Chain A
Amino acid sequence: MIAKQYEKVNETLYSETLANGLQVFVLPKTGFTKTFVTFTTKFGSLDNHYRISEGEDILVPDGIAHFLEHKMFAEPDGDVFTKFAANGASANAFTSFDRTAYLFSCTDHLYENLDILLDFVQNPYFTQANVDKERGIIDQEIAMYQDNPDWRLYFELLAALFVQSPMNIDIIGTSATIAQITPQSLYDCYHAFYHSSNMCLFAIGAIEPQAFFDRIKLNQARKTFPPKPDLIRIIPEEPEHVAKPWRQIELPVSEPKCLIGFKELHNERLEGIELLKRECALQIMFQLLFAPSSTIYQTLYSEQLIHSNFSSSITVKNDLTYSMMGGDTPDPDKLVARIFELVEQYFDSTADRLGFERMKRKAIGAFVRMFNSPSAIASQFTAYHFQNSDFFELLAAYETVNFDESLEIVRNHLNHKRHAVCVVRDGVNKNGMG
């Protein structure tokens, strides 16, 4: 068990890699009543093309990682939610582009719940009948998202940005793609991606670290694990240009929704502190450009081009960065044009060094505040861990970035040639608005 101190936030993180390859992290929180445990595999919607050692290339149906997540909860002796509930634990799971997480929180019976979590995720049980039944449920989940304009806007924009990368497919798939999923295809994915060496367990809350590690080891010692599969992910080459610069869909909305996206491929793969520094630089610059305190935001607000739901986001991955900005607007074309003009004006104006320091403070405050939220810490830590970065180093990274370098980075990122726009409009042009 290794203990790592993070003095600035007054926290200690304990970690250990078990014999079967599983990495375990524990962050005890003094004074807290609740414990939050996540068990995550590095398998998401992006991992749709792979082979095992010399075997054939396998291209899986869209939405299989998410389908597998749903079906993990089935056990021969019934539903896992029931077992958690009996121990007062509230359980959940989610699937993203690059990971699938299973989690519970509880204020009692921690070890019983820990066993339930480890046991159900390490024991797949797929039958034709339970797979068929799940399709009806996921079909309704898909239908729900199809009617959700913000969800559609987000995924349609990604589809407009990405040409080859599976970033351009919806995490949950479509009715047609999930129809192709069989118990065998689920088992294949499970054996390829749910090996302990591809997984990470993170626990935070009212925990005694040594006892917790002991309990996990005891659980794992009861099971046998196959050798680590020689997993090769097949990743297509993504070009610099975007797939489609303008995309529009029709849905019942009160006003158009508009989102602008930028894609930037990294020259070299970024990991560790380098990845964090880039993220910090871009986060601060995006705040300076688009936060409610910015000239751009207040100008767009006064010009009645945006509402209070205008927002921006930046995502830095190992191999690429993408960002988005937008919200509800009466006039998407004008909004896009104005954003480009105002961003240019910002780049031409005098250096906003004071603003930079202010935004750094804001970012540091947000980081410290996150320690009040164990669920956020668990999710963030694992996301960064799978990118070979340490989430807790973010604070140090914020302290190293400066204005001039950050300005250069954001200027490069917001390159007109690599952007796409997605718009959701009302299908029926009732009020004849232009």
Chain B
Amino acid sequence: MENSLFQVAMFGKLRVHVLATEQFKTTTLSLYAGVPLREQTVTPVSLIAHIMRRVNARYPRPELFKQKLEELYGAIFAVDVDKRGTYQVVDVTMDVIADEYVANDSEKSLLSEALRFLMDCIAYPAVDKHGFIAQYVTEEKRTIEQKLLAVKNDKAQYAAKRCIETICESHPYRFSAQGILEQLEHWDGANLADFYHRWLEEAIFDLFVVGNTDMEQVLHLLANVESGMFKATEKKMNDYKIATPFSSSKQEKNVEERMDVGQGKLNVGLTTSISSVHADYPIFQVYNGVLGGFAHSKLFTTVREKHSLAYYASSRPVDGVLGMYMIQAGIDVSKKDQALKIIREQLEEMRAGNISELELQQTKALLINSYRALADSPYELVSYGFRQRFTGSNKLPVQWLDIIKHVTVADIRRVAQTVAIDTIYFLRDGGESNDSQTV
């Protein structure tokens, strides 16, 4: 067994991670750029990412930009902005067909073209003499505004967001990674161009590559396309600093809001001191699996199967680093008290360690299955790789599942004592009287 999934090398201040494999018919490239999540910078970072998605200096019009990707046999190009703990991370992903599966008339391989395209997007944004091109700044401000407002269209997503905002009253995690509506108007092409240079300077960069290639080739291609932006600076190499997890407020917060909906959305926000860097995190994963991660879990079998109260009733970690955790169920509005009572009972069952051998065995089997299955998806591999990088862990999937195999009911019971309800959020019928207000 190798001792790491990805081979790692430094290219200036860019950390390059390569997983050489012939398993897939594509090569996947992901460039991650992380900066601290702050009220003052969350909006321009998102705006830059949105513009980066549409144009760069070589392809300064969206049609040309998209046509180039189509020529590369429809290369996937996606830019995501996300929150992780106390960081805001931009992830630019490309995915191109492996050269052996297409008749390529060009001398350049699809991989080298993709890498150039990806690097161009970061290093050479489309600018004019005023800075970022005004048209695209305006259009993408509008896109972000639309995205922020559209959260309410998906009621489950909206309820989860409101619950998170309530848990994170005074933590930057309350901001959307897409930005802050009220701050959009502050940004124009000129100040965004200034900000862009500060962002480049500050960001921690990681490039992940999965496909039929190797480190030598990737470094060679990088040397050909790179502009010097990753030149190692005098400053010390940046690393992600992991925040301490939330501690729960002493008193449960209760929020009820109304909208013109038919189904009620009950979200229970919880906190735990077992964050994703804690040695007990694999135990917490088993805890989550027994409580609500699967169709055999306590929440599914009680709220849904036994009492027919919901179509979905489950639990999931919201942010591993911050120890934020959530239970959600879509229920009849008149059944809130009954559903909440059952949820509390299940949390109590976990604390009491009332977990059968079968529940434990099923949960472990499914977790082990998902760790094994990682290996079949380039995207999952990249996202696993970044998660490891972010948390400073070098555990292999096989090591995770080894720990999981040995988790006992006593372990889960111990972890269960750290889980506490922070916020109970309920979205119900009745409309109008309230619209979302930012906390």
**A contact residues vs B (CB 8 Å cutoff):** 8-10, 30-34, 79, 81-82, 85-91, 105-108, 133-141, 143-144, 146-150, 205, 251-255, 257, 291-295, 298, 301-302, 304, 307-308, 328, 355, 358-359, 361-366, 368-369, 371-374, 427-428
Compute how far the CA of A106 lies from the CA of B309 in the bound complex, rounded to whole angstroms: 30
Q: Are A361 and B70 in contact (CB under 8 A)?
A: yes
Q: Are B62 and A292 in contact (CB under 8 A)?
A: yes
Chain B residues whose CB sits within 8 angstroms of the CB of A251 once the complex forms:
260
Q: Are A368 and B260 in contact (CB under 8 A)?
A: no
Residue in B closest to A133 when the chains form the complex, CB atoms: B308
The total of chain B residues at the interface (CB under 8 A) is 74
From B62, B71, B331, A361 is in contact (CB under 8 Å) with: B71
Using known A-B contacts A88-B368, A291-B66, determine if residue A9 contacts B25 with beta carbons closer than 8 Å: yes
Q: Are A9 and B366 in contact (CB under 8 A)?
A: no
Q: Which 10 A-B pairs have the closest CB atoms?
A: A136-B308, A365-B73, A362-B74, A293-B66, A88-B365, A85-B362, A365-B74, A31-B23, A141-B311, A254-B149
Interface centre among B71, B74, B259 (most CB of A within 10 A): B74
Q: Mark B91-124, 1 if CB is under 8 A from A, else 0.
A: 0000111000110000000000000000000000
21 cross-chain CB contacts under 8 A:
A9-B25, A9-B101, A32-B23, A85-B295, A86-B358, A88-B366, A88-B369, A108-B369, A140-B331, A141-B311, A143-B262, A143-B330, A144-B156, A150-B153, A293-B65, A295-B63, A355-B67, A361-B102, A372-B25, A372-B377, A427-B260
Chain B residues whose CB sits within 8 angstroms of the CB of A252 once the complex forms:
152-153, 259-261, 431
Q: In the complex, identify which listed stretch (B8-16, B139-147, B166-174) lies at the interface while the others stay far away.
A: B139-147
Q: Are B365 and A32 in contact (CB under 8 A)?
A: no
Compute how far the CA of A21 lies from the CA of B375 in the bound complex, rounded to whole angstroms: 36
Q: Are A428 and B260 in contact (CB under 8 A)?
A: yes
Using known A-B contacts A34-B376, A293-B70, A364-B73, determine if residue A255 contacts B262 with beta carbons closer than 8 Å: no
Chain A residues whose CB sits within 8 angstroms of the CB of B330 once the complex forms:
140, 143-144
Compute how far the CA of A291 lies from the CA of B70 in the bound complex, rounded to whole angstroms: 10
Compute how far the CA of A20 lies from the CA of B306 in the bound complex, rounded to whole angstroms: 37
From B261, B294, B309, B373, A33 is in contact (CB under 8 Å) with: B373
Chain B residues whose CB sits within 8 angstroms of the CB of A358 once the complex forms:
67, 70-71
From B66, B97, B155, A368 is in contact (CB under 8 Å) with: B97
Residue in B closest to A371 when the chains form the complex, CB atoms: B25
Q: Are A255 and B149 in contact (CB under 8 A)?
A: yes
Q: Are B311 and A138 in contact (CB under 8 A)?
A: yes
From A137, A293, A294, A372, B308 is in contact (CB under 8 Å) with: A137
Nearest-Cβ distance from residue A389 to partner chain B, whole angstroms? 22
Nearest-Cβ distance from residue A18 to partner chain B, whole angstroms? 28
Does B349 sit at the interface, judged by CB under 8 A?
no
Does B48 sit at the interface, judged by CB under 8 A?
no
Q: Are B146 and A85 in contact (CB under 8 A)?
A: no
Nearest-Cβ distance from residue A158 to partner chain B, whole angstroms? 20
Compute how far the CA of A32 lies from the CA of B380 in the bound complex, rounded to whole angstroms: 14
**B contact residues vs A (CB 8 Å cutoff):** 21-26, 62-63, 65-67, 69-76, 95-97, 101-102, 135, 139, 142-143, 146-147, 149-156, 259-263, 294-296, 301, 304-305, 308-312, 330-332, 358, 361-363, 365-366, 368-370, 372-373, 375-378, 431-432
Chain B residues whose CB sits within 8 angstroms of the CB of A368 once the complex forms:
25-26, 73, 97, 101-102
Nearest-Cβ distance from residue A27 to partner chain B, whole angstroms? 13
Using known A-B contacts A81-B296, A291-B66, determine if residue A361 contacts B365 with beta carbons closer than 8 Å: no
Q: Are A301 and B139 in contact (CB under 8 A)?
A: yes
Chain A residues whose CB sits within 8 angstroms of the CB of B62 once the complex forms:
292-293, 298, 301
Q: Are A143 and B22 in contact (CB under 8 A)?
A: no
Chain A residues whose CB sits within 8 angstroms of the CB of B151 once the complex forms:
254
Compute how far the CA of A143 lies from the CA of B331 in the bound complex, rounded to whole angstroms: 9
Residue in A closest to B110 when the chains form the complex, CB atoms: A365
Residue in B closest to A11 when the chains form the complex, CB atoms: B25
Compute how far the CA of A129 lies from the CA of B210 in the bound complex, rounded to whole angstroms: 51
Using known A-B contacts A143-B262, A369-B95, determine if residue A85 contacts B73 with beta carbons closer than 8 Å: no
From A107, A136, A144, A361, B369 is in contact (CB under 8 Å) with: A107
Nearest-Cβ distance from residue A81 to partner chain B, whole angstroms? 4
Q: Are B365 and A31 in contact (CB under 8 A)?
A: no
Nearest-Cβ distance from residue A50 to partner chain B, whole angstroms? 28
Chain B residues whose CB sits within 8 angstroms of the CB of A304 once the complex forms:
142
Q: Are A361 and B67 in contact (CB under 8 A)?
A: no
Q: Are B150 and A255 in contact (CB under 8 A)?
A: yes
Q: Are A302 and B311 in contact (CB under 8 A)?
A: no
Compute how far the CA of A363 lies from the CA of B74 in the bound complex, rounded to whole angstroms: 7
Residue in B closest to A424 when the chains form the complex, CB atoms: B153
Compute how far the CA of A108 lies from the CA of B262 in the bound complex, rounded to whole angstroms: 42
Q: Are B25 and A369 in contact (CB under 8 A)?
A: yes
Residue in B closest to A8 when the chains form the complex, CB atoms: B101
Chain A residues whose CB sits within 8 angstroms of the CB of B373 once the complex forms:
33-34, 105, 107
Chain B residues whose CB sits within 8 angstroms of the CB of A8 once the complex forms:
101
From B67, B150, B362, A254 is in contact (CB under 8 Å) with: B150
Q: Are A374 and B146 in contact (CB under 8 A)?
A: no
Chain A residues whose CB sits within 8 angstroms of the CB of B63 once the complex forms:
293-295, 298
Q: Are B70 and A359 in contact (CB under 8 A)?
A: yes
From A34, A81, A106, A362, B70 is in contact (CB under 8 Å) with: A362
Chain A residues whose CB sits within 8 angstroms of the CB of B375 once the complex forms:
33
Q: Are B376 and A87 in contact (CB under 8 A)?
A: no
Compute how far the CA of A374 lies from the CA of B25 in the bound complex, rounded to whole angstroms: 12
Nearest-Cβ distance from residue B360 to partner chain A, whole angstroms? 11
